[in-house]
Structure 1
Amino acid sequence: MKNVFLAFTFLCSSFLIAQEGTNMKKVITPPEKVRLAFEKEYPGKVPVWSEEYVGDDNDELRYEARYNVDNKTKALAIYDNLGNMKAYELQIPLSQLPAKAQAYLKKNYPAKAIREIAVVVDYKNVTTYEVGVKKDAKFYDIQFDKEGGFDVIIEKPE
Structure 2
Amino acid sequence: MKKVFLLLILLYGGFLSAQNEVVTPPEKVRFTFEKEYPNKVAVWSIDYVGDDNDEIRYQAKFNTDKNTKALAVYDNLGILKAYELQIPLSQLPQKAQTYLKKNYAPKAIKEIAVIVNDKNKTTYEVGIEKDSRFYDVVFDQNGGFDVIIEKN
* TM tier, smaller: 0.7 to 0.9
Distance in 2 (alpha carbons) for counterparts of 1:113 and 1:25:
31
TM-score by length of 2: 0.86
Q: What is the one-letter code of the residue matched to 1:124? A: K
1:53 is aligned to 2:48: yes
Structure 1 runs not aligned, ≥5 long: 1-23
Runs (4+) off by over 4 Å: none
TM-score by length of structure 1 reads: 0.83
Counterpart amino acid of residue 79 in structure 1: Y
Give CA-to-partner distance per residue, 1:22-41, whole Å, 9 cap, x none: xx784301000000000010
Equivalent residues of 1:26, 1:50 under 8 A apart: no
Residue of structure 2 equivalent to 1:85: 80
Once the two structures are superposed, the pairs formed by residues 59-138 of structure 1 within 5 Å of their partners are 59-138=54-133
Higher Cα Rg, which structure = 2
Q: For the Cα contact (< 8 Å) 1:25–1:50, is it kept in 2?
A: no
Equivalents in 2 of 1:90, 1:67: separation in Å? 10
1:146 aligns with 2:126: no
CA RMSD between the two structures? 1.1
Which structure is higher in RCO with an 8 Å CA cutoff and minimum separation 6? Answer: 1
Gaps of 5+ in 2: 1-18
Answer yes or no: is the 8 Å Cα contact 1:89–1:118 preserved in 2: yes
For residue 11 of structure 1, what is the aligned residue in structure 2? none
CA distance in 2, matches of 1:58, 1:105: 33
Identity of aligned residues (%): 72
The answer to whether the Cα contact below 8 Å between 1:119 and 1:128 also exists between their aligned partners in 2 is yes
